[in-house]
Amino acid sequence: MTAIERLGLRVSAMIGSPKAQLERRAVIHRLDTDTDEAWDGIMTLLADTDGLALAFDGDGHAVITWEAGEPEEGAERSEAVEPVEEEAPF
């Protein structure tokens, strides 16, 4: 696995985490093991992605934010959850 693939997987996991999804925000910390080529490549990819905003804080960490998206076509939306009636165990 290449350095850019490893960094891409790490960034993807950070963006996909429940906390990041709830806050619509992820902070990506650059590790000592991240090469310049990998870091620059992923940051360019993120900057070029529609719907994402990329900024850098004072420590050089990448801060990614996004707005709530519309559900994809064909995706079901549940307005309410109906209770399930359970049968008696006997």
pLDDT tens-digit series, residues 41-74: 999 999 999 999 999 998 889 999 999 876 556 5
Instruction: Please answer whether residues 46 and 52 qualify as being in contact, where contact means their C-beta atoms are separated by less than 8 angstroms.
Output: yes
Closest CA to 68 of 39, 33, 18, 25: 25
Helix (H) or strand (E) holding 80: none
Percent of the chain at pLDDT exceeding 70: 77
Closest CA to 47 of 66, 70, 22: 66
Instruction: Please answer whether residues 11 and 46 qualify as being in contact, where contact means their C-beta atoms are separated by less than 8 angstroms.
Output: yes
